Amino acid sequence: MIVIATTVPKVQKWLEDAFRQYAPHDSYCLADSEQAQSATTAVSWFPNLDHLEKLPELKLIHSMAAGVEHLNLQRIGTQYKVCRVVDQLHQKGMFDYLQWGILYYQRFFDQAFRQKKQQQWRQYPQREHAELKIGIMGLGQMGGYMAKQFAALGYQVSGWSRSPKNIAHVSCYAGDEDFDTFLGQAEILINLLPLTENNQGILSKYLFDLLPEQACIINCGRGQHLVEQDLLNYLDSGRLRGAILDVFAKEPLVENHPLWQHEKVVITPHVASHAPWSVVVNQILENDQRVIQGQALLNQVDTLKGY
């Protein structure tokens, strides 16, 4: 039995609709129902942990998304298993988004859109893929996939992660000792890190200082990775060329936020990629059966590491 566990009303409705459409009617229940006492898995987004801890059969807390920062892993610790949703269509959607972002800067479309407002006609050189250096922060299932895809297209790709990785045709860096070297060659820096206590505010002055002159930022990690005022300062100074932002510390982004009006910032409303609801439901159903039977879980998270 799966219990829907969220404190966000609109997400509650999304999950109810999704499970109603894609799951057997007797496979899920609501948090305040009698059936919740027999629930073995909680599908969650900002759940009420006080309530979940009272469910006697609960074994698994399952994020409804790829991220798990909304689950309070520090409190969960090792008392429950934790899983997240990973999907090929989700990866493909992210690749499409990032490919658009890279081409936006590679083909100087940012300059063309700015020129249009000023009625200027100026042509820019066409840069080949092999000329462009892309840096990807985070080489997990999502970031590793992106690194492979962009390397296959002929870009110069480097990646950084906390633990060592080995990806064909990708220059892999790991740990604090490699961080500065990695940043020094990233003309377009893509952030796909999970949000942890150790990397909040990682997109900040220290990092921006180490990037090449006129580097560009694409943030598809979490809004809390970015120190917004630092980014604005570096864009205004001309040190950074531009930024594409899909995630924000507070969503929706407030109406009067300076990021809305900045000519060097592209804003998208947290739409880089989403797994289809059918995939979300089926992965959670699968993991619920696995946890009941004592089998290895799909996409399990290390609660101590945070990813």
Residues labelled catalytic: 222, 270
- Structural tokens at position 230: 């630092």
Burial 69-108 (b: 16+ CB within 10 A, else e): bbbebeebeeebbbbbbbbeebbebbbebbeebbebbbeb
131: CB partners within 8 A, 6+ apart: 156
Per-residue H/E/C for 71-118: HCHHHHCCCCEEECCCCHHHHHHHHHHHHHHHHHHHCCHHHHHHHHHH
- Structural tokens at position 276: 């289809």
- Structural tokens at position 231: 């980014």
26: CB partners within 8 A, 6+ apart: none
CA angle 61, 66, 69 (to 5 degrees): 65
Residue 135: how many other CB atoms lie within 10 Å: 25
Helices (H), 84-226: 88-106, 109-118, 141-152, 175-183, 205-210
Length of the chain: 307
Residue 148: how many other CB atoms lie within 10 Å: 18
